[in-house]
Structure 1
Amino acid sequence: MPDPVDLPVRLSVSAEAARNLATATVTQPQWDEITPRWLHLLLPWVDVDGGVYRVNRVRQNSEGVTVDLLTVDDGEPELPTDFIDYEQDPREYHLSTIQTVLRTHTRITDLYSNAIDQLREQVRLTVEAVKEREEHELLNHPKIGLLNTVSPTQRIKTRKGPPSPDDLDELISLVWKKPAFFLTHPKAIAAFGREATRRGVPPPTITLFGSPFLTWRGIPLIPSDKLPIKEGKTSILLLRVGEKQRGVVGLQKAGVAGEIEPGLSVRYMGTNEHSIASHLVTRYFSLAKLGEDALAVLDDVSIGNYHEYVYPTA
């Protein structure tokens, strides 16, 4: 890939490209990189005031006890006295920002918007790119990404490489308080399907958002191509979600100027002396894990294992 400083400056879509869209077709521009982004749909989103979300936790004593309690069978023993203590330095989550400036020539939007609104399509596709980047950051960001915020005790490895039913059961044992969904690369889901089928327990499917999903123990396996694959291996995550469940929640700031949906805004920045109109596209977001046992990860998931099946002949 060329160094960014060597790339030519592109101020707006070319007149030829805009003319083709306006006169040669009546369909919207198709972009193959757009994905369903199930993670965003399945996460509960919390509106954050002031751009900061503080997670206050109860503190345990040196013996791992939160409240000193006494079970009494008879007699009148002296009862313990105690109180619930809190962490004095709770973790704070600050919203991250994804931004870009969309530039369009007014000649393009004026002359070639008869069949399809050129500005609307430029905004739509730019917003799609922002959302794709957001899903990537929710998984891979060094500070808030799910893959990088797992507690060491909640991280395990596969028994033999390919993802087996035993491996997913082990994940469930770590996130057993209302697990919501598995999240992994589509190739890992296919690999699990092969292993489960070989065991004679092909995973059933359920329908969410009008699409079928494989499940295990009733928990859906949600695909995302933003999970990295390195040397034929990837990871499988299991999440509990929601504030009331002390799970994983998405964070955003709603009500910003130019908002087109919660936490996402498009603001007109003016037109320069070259007739280039600029629009600032901004997404404010973050991710918070409210309980250490709300997230677990299965690492070293091999996705390249296949089986040969021998069928009896008549």
Structure 2
Amino acid sequence: MAKTAPTQSALGDNAARQLANATKTVPQLSIITPRWLTHLLQWVPVEAGIYRVNQVRNPESIKVTCTSREEENQLPRTFVDYEENPREHYLNAVSTVLDVHTRISDLYSSPHDQIKEQLRLTIETIKENQESELINNPDYGLLAQVDEEQRIFPLTGAPTPDDLDELLTRVWKEPAFFLAHPLAIAAFGREATRRGTPPPTVSLFGSQFITWRGIPLIPSNKVPVADGKSKIILLRVGDKRQGVVGLYQPGLAGEQSPGLSVRFMGINNQAIASYLISLYCSLAVLTPDALAVLDDVEVNKYHDYPDTYR
């Protein structure tokens, strides 16, 4: 006897979805981070692309004195000398050319504009690269500009409150923030908590950061980690504080944000539209004591305290 097909009493989900409009997100780019470093730096416009850091030479030779009334006519004579060959910082470009086929932008730009999204994602990638260069560039990055006398090492391997206190002795004039990989911040938090001094938190930009001695520890995944070791950087920022400053080029053609320009380069004979995206930036450390680093801190120490942190 032949089997009869089961009777369907209602419209099924799969068929019904053919008439429904899916709500589509813009493309999600997993590498995007908050980039706190670029938010916390003071940015100085460099109109000619060159930033010269003039320094006083032999500051200890500047003579002043406090005289008594009887010695008012015996004042020392002095002058302030300058370095004859100060360091000059040149702006560096982080650039790329974005290609978008006109057929793609013409046919597939609803609900999201293809060119706009392509530009947004490329710019985000450039800005991520910018933060990495500000930390790691071998010429102008933070780690390349640390004075050897401002480089210290941890007492026991993992970063401890004692180590951060030692950093504060090196950058004691109005320190702004510590900068570290999230793993290093977690390692410090474990050490501080183990000693009975859990670090307090502070709210900045609507986010919570742990602090030490009132100075926030700012996370950045661009601080290098290798073989289970990383670094913790302490900065003073701002030109008025003789600290660390970011440098950018103002007034660029096609400027989208400070130092960032987008320029249309035309459409070639394959109907591909090209856009030049450039970000010009650099970084200067105005005085050696504006920057210090705690080097070779161990960050993979979770297993040392299994009963506390399991």
Deviations 1:146-187 (A, max 9, x none): 011100110000001000000000000110000000000000
Counterpart residue number, 2:205: 209
Partner residue of 1:84 out of 77, 80, 85: 80
Tell me how far 1:136 sits from its aligned partner: 0.6
Listed as ranges, the matches of 1:131-146 within 5 Å are: 131-146=127-142
Pick closer, same or farther for the CA change 1:75–1:224 going to 2, 3 Å.
Answer: same
Partner residue of 1:225 out of 195, 200, 221: 221
Q: Distance in 1 between matches of 2:70 and 2:190?
A: 61
Aligned length, in residue pairs:
286
One-letter identity of the residue aligned with 2:249:
K
TM-score, L = length of structure 2: 0.89
Q: Distance in 1 between matches of 2:168 and 2:212?
A: 10
Q: Distance in 1 between matches of 2:166 and 2:234?
A: 10
Tell me how far 1:223 sits from its aligned partner: 0.3
One-letter identity of the residue aligned with 1:299:
D
Tell me how far 1:308 sits from its aligned partner: 3.4
Pick closer, same or farther for the CA change 1:29–1:83 going to 2, 3 Å.
Answer: same
Specify the SS of the correspondent of 2:52.
strand
Q: Does 1:65 align with 2:63?
A: no
Tell me how far 1:85 sits from its aligned partner: 1.0
Percent identity over the alignment is 58
Q: Distance in 1 between matches of 2:306 and 2:110?
A: 56
Partner residue of 1:163 out of 149, 159, 164: 159
Specify the SS of the correspondent of 1:65.
helix
One-letter identity of the residue aligned with 2:207:
S
Pick closer, same or farther for the CA change 1:294–1:310 going to 2, 3 Å.
Answer: closer
Counterpart residue number, 1:9: none
One-letter identity of the residue aligned with 1:69:
V
Counterpart residue number, 1:48: 46
Identify unmatched segments of 5+ residues in structure 2.
1-20
Counterpart residue number, 1:193: 189
Tell me how far 1:73 sits from its aligned partner: 4.0
One-letter identity of the residue aligned with 1:144:
Y
Tell me how far 1:206 sits from its aligned partner: 0.7
Q: Distance in 1 between matches of 2:50 and 2:270?
A: 40
One-letter identity of the residue aligned with 1:42:
L
Specify the SS of the correspondent of 1:124.
helix
Counterpart residue number, 1:289: 285
Specify the SS of the correspondent of 1:69.
coil
Q: Does 1:266 align with 2:276?
A: no
Specify the SS of the correspondent of 1:133.
helix
Tell me how far 1:49 sits from its aligned partner: 1.2
* Structure of greater Rg: 2
Q: Distance in 2 between matches of 1:28 and 1:310?
A: 42
Specify the SS of the correspondent of 2:48.
helix
Counterpart residue number, 2:246: 250
Tell me how far 1:79 sits from its aligned partner: 2.3
Specify the SS of the correspondent of 1:50.
coil
Please tell me the root mean square deviation across aligned C-alpha atoms, in Å. Answer: 1.5
Identify unmatched segments of 5+ residues in structure 1.
1-22
Counterpart residue number, 1:173: 169
One-letter identity of the residue aligned with 1:68:
K
Counterpart residue number, 2:3: none
Deviations 1:207-255 (A, max 9, x none): 1111100100100000000111111000000000000000000000111
